[in-house]
Amino acid sequence: MSAPASLPGDDVAIRLSGLTKTYGRGSTAVPALRGVDMTVRRGEVIGLVGPSGSGKSTLLKCLGAVIEPTDGRIELAGETIFDGARGGWRIADLRALRRDRIGFIFQAPYLIPFLDVVDNVALLPMLAGVPDAQARSRARELIAALDVGHRSGVRVSQLSGGEQQRVAIARSLINRPPVILADEPTAPLDSTRALAVMRILGEMAQRYGAAIVVVTHDEKIIPTFRRLYRIRDGRTEEEAGEGRPLDADPAPAAIG
Amino acid sequence: MINLAGRDIAQHFGRFLFTGVGLGLLIGATLTMAGVYRGMVADGRAVIAASGADLWVVQKDTLGPWAEPSSLRDDLQRTLAVLPGVAEVANAAYLTMQVPVHGREVRVMLAGVEPGGLGEPSQLVAGRPLLRSHYEAVADRATGLRVGDTVRIRRHDYAVVGLTQRATSSSGDPMLFIPLKDAQEVQFLKDNDSLLAERARTQANPALNRPGVPGLLDAVLAGQSASRSVNTVLVRVAPGHTVAEVQAAIGRWKHLTAWSREDMEEILVARLIATSARQIGMFLAILAVVSAAIVAFIIYTMTLNKQREIAVLKLIGARDRSIAALVLQQALALGLIGFAVGEGAATLWAPFFPKTVLLTAGDAARGLLATLGVCTLASSLAIRAALRVDPAEAIGG
């Protein structure tokens, strides 16, 4: 996958500079990230791969403003949100940051089981104060784009695993965030469905101009990345991926 | 904005309802205990109101006729009747005993009243009042007697001619009204063997059986077998006079004590059932604490079961107040379901209690407020747990 041609190369959505994270202090300190540098442009889907315990999830949590890095710098869509040299977070309301500017996709869909498909997706704008009708209208539009429109009124517990994952993708996109963080989004899926999810993510990145970081150690999807970062012992190395085209892969409906 | 609590309840309504029913039965038990106390107070007041008297004249320094034994000569009423401010007087005798009703023993409060006078039941639900001076009875429905039944009291049979409802003693025993003369006999009657032994003892006493004094022995024997005692004289105050004024006038007689209606209420409610009330109060407090603990446990468990959803909600930007509202609203909904079930259950089973269980609207309102208060308090632990959930839990690793 690659950045869309229409997007300028300097349209950076994520820029990490010398990001470090150390758990604990003194003799019990465990460094999880040791100066990570990373750049992701809008419309780009990059892979973050590495073995268990290498620091993938820690990096994702730092990027998602869920845990505070120890040092370094994070810029989202041109705005510095964390700067270790200037005291840490530069944003007071991290929840609003997560709600409005970061989309999350998890290994399991983690939808709210007592809400139907539309409300699961519409919940985010509603939390941001968007009127219910408007939020639901936007949700229906996205759900239709992800080919689950025919299931919009049912409870998420009645959906298949693939359909739930597509609803989760819709939820991550609903507030048009510049950044989407996907944590092992294809882990529970077979090859066909995994590749279909990757194709959807690629399309959505291009359509909405979002930068998508996919944390994975799923060998099935690694060849699909045009660019990826390998992380080992808290350090990242940028690699050119194979960028295998997904055109021949099944349609989105295949992941249902 | 979506009501998350309402959606969750709708999704798991069966489980929620089942939990609410369990809690409701506990709340029902709590409301019933309050009803038992109210019933005791109401019974105490009912027996006072049923007599129709303004004053109860009893033996000096006693709390009679129900709280302590009191014995007065029955001719005292004639003296009281002529006091200024007295409109009506009547003797009355009360005693608690077991009577056989349809093959089972029923504990009743026997009330000896003068037919047509004070102390008679004011309202009958069937039959007629006492008209004859002997061997008729008016019974409370709770005795199980019906009009036309015969009830044996000591050595005599009494025809049930009328029925009352909710005429009970302060202990909740149903009342059985019989003519005063019969009640006096019942109260002080000795068995035949005792009478024969007493007569033989009197005959053997040379002081009471003098050969030169004819009629002395008969007079003494007649005096021994007759009963001229009553427990109280009921007094109704004439219009234009105050109860306090008549009460003070009677109090000046050194061998008598007169209690007003308020005094009797104080004696029956505040003194006689005070220990029972404290007992019930303790039980109520324990039930409330147990209910609170159960609600807290249920809400806490429900919250812990939603830990992942809460983590996701926090991660995607839900405010703490939205999370707290989710937990609090569910606790309150559980309380409301529990209260509705409890109120319904208490109403259903109250009539089956042997003594009066009085469920009042005031107690129901206080119960509802207490339930909501307890639920709010109980949810605080779960809210704290929910707010401590780390949004990072939604992300693996």
Looking at the domain assignment, is residue B56 inside a domain?
A: no
Is the CB of B309 less than 8 angstroms away from the CB of A113?
A: yes
> Is residue A26 in some structural domain?
yes
Q: Out of A58, A113, A183, whose CB is closest to B11?
A: A113
- Residue A51 preceded by cis peptide, ω within 30: no
The answer to whether the CB atoms of B2 and A123 lie below 8 A apart is: yes
A254: DSSP letter: G
Q: How far apart are CA A61 and CA A23, in angstroms?
A: 13
Same domain, B385 and B302: yes
Are B106 and B245 contained in the same domain? yes
> What confidence score (pLDDT) does residue A245 get?
65
Q: What percent of chain B lies above the pLDDT cut of 70?
A: 98
- Same domain for B140 and B244, yes or no, is yes
The encoded tokens of residue B218 equal 């008969």
As a whole number of angstroms, the distance between CA B265 and CA B44 comes to 7
Instruction: Show the tokens assigned to B363.
Output: 């107690």
Could you report the per-residue pLDDT of B149-205, keeping only the tens digit for each?
A: 999 998 899 999 999 988 888 778 899 999 998 998 887 767 778 778 888 888 888
Is the residue at B206 inside a domain? no
Q: At what angle do helices B320-349 and B307-315 cross, to 10 degrees?
A: 150
In a domain, B262, yes or no: no
A210: left (phi over 0), alpha (psi -120 to 50) or beta: beta
> B178 in helix, strand or coil?
strand
Backbone dihedral region for residue A239 (phi beyond 0: left; psi -120 to 50: alpha; all else: beta): beta
Q: How far apart are CA B149 and CA B157, in angstroms?
A: 10
Give the count of beta carbons closer than 10 Å to the beta carbon of residue A211.
25
Q: Is residue A207 part of a domain?
A: yes
Are the C-beta atoms of residues A211 and A74 closer than 8 Å to each other? no
Same-domain pairing of B282 and B178: no
Cα(A15)–Cα(A71) distance, rounded to whole angstroms? Answer: 14
What is the rounded end-to-end Cα distance, in angstroms, of chain B? Answer: 32
Examine residue B81 and state whether it is found in any structural domain, yes or no: yes
pLDDT in tens, A83-99: 999 999 999 999 889 88
Give a yes or no: residue A213 inside a domain: yes
CA distance A212 to A220: 18
Claim to verify: residue B89 and residue B232 sit in the same structural domain: yes
Q: Do B178 and B111 share a structural domain?
A: yes
Confirm or reject contact between A100 and chain B (CB < 8 A). yes
B177 and B146 within one domain: yes
Q: In terms of domains, do B86 and B15 share one?
A: no
C-alpha distances in Å from residue B363, one per residue of B17, B113, B266, B358, B370: 24, 36, 21, 10, 10
B86 and B140 fall within a common domain:
yes
Indicate the residue of A56, A66, A127 with minimum beta-carbon distance to B318.
A127
In a domain? residue A62: yes
Dihedral pair phi/psi, residue A135, rounded to 5° = -65, -40
In a domain, B250, yes or no: yes
Please give, rounded to a whole number of angstroms, the shortest distance from the CA of A31 to a CA of chain B: 15
Contact A95 B308 (CB under 8 A): no
How far apart CA B371 and CA B288 sit, in angstroms, is 9
Asked whether residue A129 is domain-assigned, the answer is no
- The residue of A61, A114, A119, A179 whose CB has the most chain B CBs within 10 angstroms, and thus the best one to mutate to test that interface, is A114
The reported pLDDT for the residue numbered A23 is 93
What residues of chain A score a pLDDT lower than 70? 1-10, 245-256
Same domain, B371 and B314: yes
Residue-level pLDDT at A246: 61
Q: Assess if residue A224 is contained within a domain.
A: yes
Question: Is B329 within the bounds of a domain?
Answer: yes
User: Which range of residues forms the domain containing residue A188?
Assistant: 12-109+180-255
- At B105 the three-state DSSP class reads strand
For residue B282, the enclosing domain spans 4-43+275-394
Tell me which amino acid residue B216 is. L
Q: What is the CATH number of the domain that holds A93?
A: 3.40.50.300
Answer yes or no: do B21 and B65 share one domain.
no
Of all residues in chain B, the one with the smallest CA distance to A118 is B2
Q: How far apart are the first and last CA of chain A?
A: 23
Instruction: Give the total number of structural domains in chain A.
Output: 1
Q: Is residue B281 part of a domain?
A: yes
- Quick one: closest CA in B to A112, which residue? B309
pLDDT (0 to 100) of residue B56:
94
Cβ-Cβ pairs closer than 8 A, A with B, add up to 82
Is B345 inside any structural domain? yes
Contact A112 B319 (CB under 8 A): no
Q: In whole angstroms, what is the distance from residue B227 CA to residue B233 CA?
A: 16
- pLDDT tens, position by position, B88-140: 999 999 999 999 999 999 999 999 999 888 888 878 999 999 998 899 999 99
Count, residues in chain A: 256
B86 and B116 share one domain = yes
Q: Please count the structural domains in chain B.
A: 2
Low-confidence ranges of chain B (pLDDT < 70): 189, 225-226, 254, 396-397
